[in-house]
Structure 1
Amino acid sequence: MSLQKISAATIIALSLAACSSGSDSPNSTLPNTNPTVTNPSNGNQTNNGNAAAANNQNNPASNGNTAANNGNNPTNSGNTAINNPPPRVDFSVSYEGIKNTANKDIRELAQEKKIKGEVILKSYKVNLGNQSSSGNNFNLSSIPLKTLDSQNYRETVVAQAGGQNHTITRNGVAHIYRQNYSLIAGITPTGLTINGESEKLDADDDDTNILIKGYATQNLPTAGKFDYSGIASDGDKKGKLAYSVDFDSRKGSGKITGLDSDIHLNEAEIKKMSYTNKETDGTTIKGHGIEGSSNRGNYRLGFFGPNAEEIVGTVDDRNNGEIGFAGSR
């Protein structure tokens, strides 16, 4: 990615791109500075507004591990809310991770500009909406639930190259969508300046970068068919997602509407998967997901929540870059 591609630091259109093919190891970890995530102990879900207990009461596939359910079940094994507290979800974005991505981009830019000598990053600052950081992680837990939220994004870098200091500013718009257990964000680049002079973005440099955060499902339901509904976004337009998963056959399929022509997400099987936020903060999510084909390009999604209450994913559109989507049941 050239420097002209904005590193989707803490954002994006939402818990999207959930799981990519790869890892056999389970678990989702999204810590602040560690690229992998652990499950129940990550983050803090007090800001989500909907505790897992409430979700389980409305979920026919719930495992019943809530105070309300246990109180109504005389044969319950005694797993109270104290013994099984709601999972804490980490929606933070690693400052060091996005800084490292920017450092890599700056070195690539220096090569493109044929600047010789060592490249040294001297300072790095990120602004997202009303948050600003020169060293602390970003917290996206305050993003409104199930609302496609748009915020301005800016990176300001001072780097030494060729014996001189250069100030580089990258601007963009972050589209963020948060659910109870997952978040997907997409940053669309809008501008680049070097020492105050505007640089033209190449055609390949205006693609939306995707960031996904959340509590990845580790133990999937073993039976039942569930319908997920939610949103999809290509950075310009908002569409609708409808996706069905049959946990008996361990397969899923669906459709996205409202983004030009309909996108048919063809049936594919559930498997263990992992997803790395390569273009943003470098963190990795491990869990279960589905990877399949569509009429617009391949898609992939991951399951989030203790009982797979949510999905987040992306479509690799052949013509328009990545499309993010997220839904809940």
Structure 2
Amino acid sequence: MSIRKTTLASLILLGLTACSSGGSGGSSNNVAKPNTQPQTTQQQTDKAAAEKAAKEKAEAERLAAEKAANEKAEAERLAAEKAAKEKAEAERLAAEKAAKEKAEAERLAAEKAAKEKAEAERLAAEKAAKEKAEAERLAAEKAAKEKAEAERLAAEKAAKEKAEAERLAAEKAAKEKAEAERLAAEKAAREKAEAERLAAEKAAKEKAEAERLAAEKAAKEKAEAERLAAEKAAREKAEAERLAAEKAEQERQAKIAQLKPIAVEAGLDEGTAERLADQNSSKTPDEFKKIAEDYKLQLDIAQAKGISNGIYPVGLITNTKGSSSVSTSNALTRANRIHKVVYNQPYSVVIADYSGNVAYNNQTGQIISDNRASSIQVRGLKTTEEAIPNEGTATYVGKAFNGTIKSEYDWNTSESKESVIEGKTTYNVDFNTRTGSGKITGLGDDVILAQGEISGTGITSSARQSYRSGQYFLDFYGPKAQEIGGKVTLEGKDTIGFGGTRGDIQK
């Protein structure tokens, strides 16, 4: 019985006892006193004491029942634990015993099976040696009769296990053998490859050395052969060149001897003719004739002009500075100069010497007052009278100057640079009528060159610039009147130098 059930029973018992006591009292009172009367103080006290005692008894019984139930539960738990331990120990011992007995039985059965199997195998082997087919049949029949189904099954199982073991062992052995063979093969292959590599390296080295020695030998032999061939070729070439040079020199001397008279005929002296023929010995006689004539022409021009083209470039007007004193106010320049102005053309040169005071417009070149002493000459290779054309018209265009100088500031060099103020010459010639006229611009007012007639190798006529008047003089220069060169005098003073190159003759 549990604690809860014990406690409940105790409470029921106490309740019944109390009811019985109360009933008895009531009945007594009712019998003694039919008319109900209030209980006395003593009765109430007794009742309270009885109730208290009942409660204390019930509580004591409850506590006792609980204690007994607890003790019983603890005893049952301890007993259960002990029983469980004893049962577990007994089961363990039984299991150990059963395991030992089973193991022993299995060992004995295995030993017996092994012995019987070994004996059967021995007998079977012996009988098989005598008559294999018959022995196997008799052994199978005898085994079927003598052995239980378990032995047959054990034999089959053992055979299977053996076969499996043998198969696994064979597989393992095969794998190990294959692995060993693979490793051995790899090692052998590596050793073989290494041996072959070393052999190949050795062979390659030996081959390379042999080839090097052979190449060196061949190179030496080739170099020696080439050297000898080169020496021979050089000797032969030198000899051929010497002979060719001798022949060429002979031919050149012969050519010089052939060309020299052409240069002499062109007007050159013997020494100059020979040098020119030597310099142009590769030319044909016709080519050399032109060269000699041009050379003689240049000599004649240089001699006639009397100046150096290196100092006075052809086509330019060059100012050669002397002493000077210059003052400038806006466009007006007053100068006291001693200088030379040269206008160099291919066949002629116009040379002017100026000295003294002059005032002019430094923008236009117009002379305002001129107190200079001046002299203008024209030199060069004049055209002969018979070489001046007799028909057609032509215009000569060139430059002019009057000795005025302009000063310009060069921002690149931060210096002032002087240059000649240049004019432009335009002169028209009618070779049919043997007349010519023109003008000069760019030196202030236009300078009008009046029509004049060709006389000898030149033209002389009047000239005018604004209110000043004078004359101009020009000559034709070059083998075919390719140029004109001249000067303008105003108020009796050489003032302007000019020149020009002829364009095509219009017919």
Give the TM-score of the pair, scaled to structure 1: 0.46
Give the TM-score of the pair, scaled to structure 2: 0.31
Higher helix share: 2
Higher strand share: 1
Structure ID, larger Rg? 2
